[in-house]
Amino acid sequence: MESELELSHFSEDDIRRLYPTLRAMAGEKMAHERLGHTLQPTALVHEAWLRMRESENQTWRNTAHFCAAAAETMRRILIDRGRRRARKKHGGGLKQVPMQQLDLEEPEHKDSIVVIDEALKRLEEVDPQRARLVLLKYFGGMSNREIAHEMKVTERTVERYWAFARTWLYREIQSRL
């Protein structure tokens, strides 16, 4: 990512240039999705771009800022899909079970993306700066250097914030499972 490139609006040519980066980000997000999902990384990138174009705020400071916004948009799309799947009219967490296993009850588990989102929202209430770092690093795929530049802190501070956020989120998620 070219974090020093100053752009106020992204054109279709800019998107074509950044497409491999966006596609890689989407692929990484999709790798953490449940098995059997139907959304493909290409569709996730396209849906994110459409949502971003419809948004009133279409100004990004630089490529890193744009990629962070795209990552956040992709995260929201996956969360929306996870919540939609959890609704009763969409199966509400029902699982297909072979006829031989009908007498076995499986424990109810939330979709992992929804559990992660709930934990991230709680972290945002406790520490908004560390929650933003998680968005940039985990969902945005940004390096510590890019995050430090974006958040205007040192790389060492990014490392400390990441260690804290990772531990906090792990404990929060484990308590919900």
pTM of this prediction exceeds 0.85: no
Where in 44-146 does DSSP place strands (E)? Answer: none
Q: Please give the tally of structural domains in the chain.
A: 1
What is the arithmetic mean of pLDDT over 47-59? 78
Q: Could you tell me if residue 16 is left (phi over 0), alpha (psi between -120 and 50 degrees) or otherwise beta?
A: alpha
Question: What are phi and psi for residue 9, nearest 5 degrees?
Answer: -135, 145
Domain that holds residue 152: 12-93+108-176
* pLDDT at residue 101 is higher than 90: no
Instruction: Give the N- to C-terminal CA distance of the chain in Å, as an integer.
Output: 36
Confidence of residue 93 (pLDDT cuts 50, 70, 90): low
Q: pLDDT, tens digit, for every residue of 18-37?
A: 888 888 888 877 776 666 56
